[in-house]
Amino acid sequence: MAEAAKIHDPAASGTVLKVAGLKRYFDVSAPWLNRVLERQPRQILKAVDGIDLEIARGETFGLVGESGCGKSTVARLIVGLHGPTAGSIELEGRNIAGLSRKQMAPVRRRLQMIFQDPYASLNPRWRVRDIVAEPIRAFGLASDKAAVERRVGELLEQVRLNPRDGEKFPHEFSGGQRQRISIARALASNPEFLVCDEPTSALDVSVQAQILNLMRDLQRDLGLTYLFISHNLAVVYHISNRVGVMYLGKMVEQAPSRTLFTTPRHPYTRLLLDTIPDLDMTGRERTPVGGEVPNPINPPTGCSFHPRCPFANERCRVESPRALAMPGNATVACHGVEEGRVPEEPVLAAPAVPEGLGGSVHDG
Amino acid sequence: MAMANPLLQVRNLVVEFPTRRGTLTAVDDISFDIAEGEVLGVVGESGAGKSMTGAAVIGLLEPPGRIASGEVLLEGRRIDNLPYEKMRRIRGKEIGAIFQDPLTSLNPLYSIGRQLTETIMTHTDMTPTQARARAVELLAEVGIPAPERRVDQYPHQFSGGMRQRVVIALALCVNPRLIIADEPTTALDVSIQAQIIALLKRLCREHGTAVMLVTHDMGVIAETADRVAVMYAGRIAEIGPVREVIKNAKHPYTHGLMGSIPAIGHDADRLEQIPGSMPRLTDIPPGCAFNPRCLHAFDRCRRDRPELIAVDDGQVSCWLYDTAAGRTTAEAKAIVASRSGTAMERADG
């Protein structure tokens, strides 16, 4: 454990993961005979359609978007559960896109995933110690039985469980405790990079706070890098250094967390921020924006957001926008922002500690 | 708090589930009122008994669950002991229901129009033509575009947000006095969630309908409810005006819960956390159900169960506020607020 327990030093950080032009298309056509008889064309679902992102060591990159925007597909592509249609995924400078199973094995040790549903991702017939020990055995990380046992105890303690809990089965634990077991399993192979797909979405808020705090502690202690996927904007704000917003398979905006939430540029990001319930009770009414996410099989032409966008014009209907570099280390894919058609006033004022939510309570 | 003319009164309601290993108490002696046109939020984490309370009020508890004691009164009339047929007439006509998953509330084999007209004709004496016209009108009211065309379509032809609008139309179609909405926005995306909340608020204001809004989402409560009841382990921990409960929580549980919600614009390295987790129904501790997780618990909390005590405009069940202890409300609140941010972390709960 000693080699992994180094304190994260931001000065030494470099890019851990670099994704460029990543695409994943799914063929969702009807069977061949039906297509021929009913003269239907092939149907292609562009789940991920050209994503670029870079994640620095020790950082948390938050990926947000509504259901069906392709954020989970990005997660599965990065850990190699799907092969990409095009594009590259570089882990510390080495392209891991489309590697064979065998070539992928050493990469898998360094790249682990935490899933949303802690009920479905743990084998109910295995004891917790076997679940956590599986990666240790699979990668041959411990010499003998005693060493495996020691390491499992260590991991359970790391996620604030009792080493004696190893004897139990998953059903004996609550949702939050099961998510701790998933985290222990993910940490078993000493990974550097964790892909977390909605890790707290199935949990109650008080348990969510425990898991988010635990993930922060582990990141600091082990120098981990996270890709954190969630539809909950407040959670993403809390945990991330940098945030990307996805809409229908494309990255519409990317910026440091604070910038994105205080001065959102893309109209879709603004819409998302407007829909956050107002816990400060300022009396602000949420402005419900009309329309829904279109069907990704047949997305709108041009900018896929244009049917819901209040600033859209003819160009948006025809031409798909490219990601544009903005000051402050941000990118935005929007013709309106490029041409200055989208007014610049921020949606939210500069962050202030909401009174009454107990400012001092949170400082600890 | 006694209300002049409560529409709904729940008195000492107890819901039990007999199981092979003994009887579980899902809702444990709770009382509250809902006034006419009022939105009462009921929040709590999973297993707190909030959905059970809603189901008990409309008589839709799934067997073997049953109301073991207590009363539910609608406009002063008892409705918890009515025969099935009588209760069925009250459901729909006087109490409407909206559930989390719109697909389970709609029959996939019937067109939207047929489901609406059937409900309307069951509870009123409209002719089929009138009922159909009313159905189109309702769909327009809940914001479904081209209602004349959509009325003949089937549930699978609607998106999630549109289906939830149809369910709201169904709940509203005979102008009920009360709507029980159980997690009405939980299955929806955030941008759709805002639309549905705005719709529910507008309709209830216009029709003067009271709502019992059951949810785990404090954000939804904050912008929709007039009053809120916070439930924990089948009991009400705190009930009061929404602003009071959210910004000035009195019960240590509510206080911890509010602190554990991450907020945008609020930079904290760590979230406040309540140690442990809610007890299972099989082993609820004696005294106050929250005592093993409470930083301020003392002997009495482990021994006696606290009743709701009137404090300011609300009520709280916490011994810290017991007047016999000679503490002022301000002192008790200071104790609750005094927890340090670096609370001991404990996963075994």
What pLDDT does residue B329 have?
A: 84
What pLDDT does residue A353 have?
A: 36
Domain identity same for A163 and A90:
yes
Domain identity same for A103 and A195:
yes
- The torsion angles phi and psi of A17, rounded to 5 degrees, stand at -125, 130
Domain identity same for A202 and A87:
yes
Domain identity same for A166 and A50:
yes
Give me the mean pLDDT over the B266-289 stretch: 86
Domain identity same for A226 and A258:
no
pLDDT over threshold 50, residue A8: no
**How far is the alpha carbon of A253 from chain B, nearest alpha carbon, in Å?**
17
> Contact B259/A273, CB-based, under 8 Å?
no
**How far is the alpha carbon of A159 from chain B, nearest alpha carbon, in Å?**
9
Domain identity same for A197 and A318:
no
C-alpha gyration radius of chain B? 21
B contacts of A277 (beta carbons < 8 Å):
197, 217-220, 222-223
pLDDT digits (tens, 9 = 90+) for B7-33: 999 999 999 999 888 889 999 999 999
Domain presence at residue A301: yes
pLDDT over threshold 60, residue A259: yes
Range of the domain at A161: 19-240
Domain identity same for A83 and A107:
yes
A contacts of B263 (beta carbons < 8 Å):
234, 237-238, 279-280, 354, 357
Residue B266: which of A66, A206, A362 has the nearest Cβ? A362
Give me the mean pLDDT over the A227-241 stretch: 93
Q: Is the pTM of this model over 0.95?
A: no
On average, the pLDDT of chain A sits at 85
How far is C-alpha A220 from the geometric centre of its chain's CA atoms? 19
What pLDDT does residue B347 have?
A: 34
A contacts of B191 (beta carbons < 8 Å):
66, 271-272, 275, 288-289, 292-293
A contacts of B256 (beta carbons < 8 Å):
206
| Nearest Cα residue to A231 out of B106, B116, B217 | B217
Domain presence at residue A191: yes
Domain presence at residue A347: yes
Last residue of one domain, picked from the residues A177, A211, A240? A240
Chain B residues 142-201 with a CB less than 8 Å from chain A: 159, 161-162, 189-195, 197-198
pLDDT over threshold 70, residue B64: yes
Q: Percent of chain B, pLDDT > 70?
A: 96
Domain presence at residue A10: no
Domain identity same for A336 and A212:
no
pLDDT over threshold 50, residue B349: no
What pLDDT does residue A290 have?
A: 66
What pLDDT does residue B79 have?
A: 92
Domain identity same for A235 and A271:
no
> Contact A361/B272, CB-based, under 8 Å?
yes
**ipTM for the whole predicted complex goes beyond 0.85:** no
What pLDDT does residue B3 have?
A: 59
Domain presence at residue A311: yes
What pLDDT does residue B190 have?
A: 78
**How far is the alpha carbon of B248 from chain A, nearest alpha carbon, in Å?**
6
> Contact B259/A180, CB-based, under 8 Å?
no
Give me the mean pLDDT over the B284-299 stretch: 92
| Nearest Cα residue to A270 out of A173, A320, A337, A184 | A337
- Rounded Cα distance between A98 and A85, Å, is 9
* CB A74 within 8 Å of CB A47: no
C-alpha gyration radius of chain A? 22
B243 interfacial to chain A (CB closer than 8 Å): yes
Give me the mean pLDDT over the B205-211 stretch: 88
**How far is the alpha carbon of A323 from chain B, nearest alpha carbon, in Å?**
23
> Contact B346/A160, CB-based, under 8 Å?
yes
pLDDT over threshold 50, residue A265: yes
What pLDDT does residue A284 have?
A: 61
Domain identity same for A227 and A87:
yes
Kindly identify which residue of chain B lies nearest to residue A361, measuring between CA atoms.
B341
Domain identity same for A129 and A214:
yes
Structural domain count, chain A: 2
Which helix H or strand E contains B62, and what residues bound it?
A: none
Domain presence at residue A73: yes
The beta strand positions in chain B, using DSSP E, are 6-19, 22-35, 39-43, 66-74, 77-78, 95-98, 178-182, 210-215, 227-232, 235-241, 309-311, 314-316
Q: What CATH number is given to the structural domain containing A222? A: 3.40.50.300
**Degrees, nearest 5: CA angle A301-A303-A305:** 105
Give me the mean pLDDT over the A149-176 stretch: 92
Domain presence at residue A364: no
pLDDT over threshold 80, residue B284: yes
> Contact B264/A271, CB-based, under 8 Å?
no
What pLDDT does residue A289 have?
A: 63
Domain identity same for A196 and A327:
no
Domain presence at residue A287: no
